[in-house]
Every structure is written in structure tokens, then in C-alpha cells.
Homo-oligomer: A and B are copies of this chain.
Amino acid sequence: MLQRLNHVALAVPDLEAATATYRAMLGARVSAPQPLPDHGVTVVFVELENTKIELLEPLGENSPLAAFLAKNPKGGMHHLCYEVDDIAAARDRLVASGARVLGDGEPKIGAHGKPVLFLHPGDVHGTLTELEQV
């Protein structure tokens, strides 16, 4: 079911400072910031040879990152996103295994314009896990 690792998402309190760290200190190729108000984040992509890191800063009220950054004020590793070829089949398999899909249990259109779902971290050994149909 799991195919490629689409991205690793890191929550950061200050996207400008994080961009400078990845660009200048770590010598990575880093995109311009992209505000995604529907998702409550501004994102910067760190483009690696085989996958990408998404640096996420809260945007607006009710950002899904607010609680995480309140607990981890310096930032930290937020979630992993794996690609699947059929998200409805993935959802059915997960639910049959007893896993909890966050929200109403149905895939949604994610930040890349593709169907995604998030699994409860308690069902994946503490790691918030996103699946994206590519």
C-alpha cells in the first residue's frame, strides 16, 4: 500500500528563520513561502533529490499547528506523508484494521490538491501519518 514517502512535515514557529537555516546552514534548495489559508499554514518546500521536507508555519486563527507549537515551542517533526494509489481502498483497509481516520473518516482534498487522509497517531505508534493519492 505505501509507495513513496511524499514528504516529512516539520512545524516551525518562524518560517523565515527556518528557511535561512535550511538554505544557508544546510545548503538545501528551498522554495519561496506559499500561504495556504484553507489549511491554516504557510509552507516552504525543502527540495531533496528523492523527496521533500515541508516547513510549516501557522497561518491565521485555528491553525492545525497551534497546539503542536504550544507543546513544542521551538518546533519539531509534525507528520509523515506516504503516497498510495487508491485512497478509498486504503481507507477501507485501515478501517477494517481498526485504525481511526481523523475528521469524518472520509478523504479530503489536501494542500497539494489531491485526496488525503490522516491516521490517528495513537494507531501508528505515536506518529501522525498522512496518506495521499497521487
Contacts and interface: CB of A to CB of B under 8 A. Distances in A.
5 contacts: A21-B125, A26-B82, A55-B125, A74-B125, A77-B126
B127 A77 contact: yes
Interface residues of A, number: 46
Given A4-B48, A14-B125, A76-B126, 13 more contacts: A2-B27, A2-B28, A2-B48, A10-B127, A11-B126, A12-B125, A12-B126, A13-B125, A24-B97, A25-B99, A53-B80, A76-B77, A77-B126
A1 B28 contact: yes
Interface of A: 1-5, 8, 10-14, 17-18, 21-22, 24-28, 46, 48-51, 53, 55, 72, 74-77, 80, 82, 93-94, 97, 99, 121-127, 129
A77 B80 contact: yes
Nearest to A10: B127
A18 B121 CA distance: 12
Nearest to A47: B2
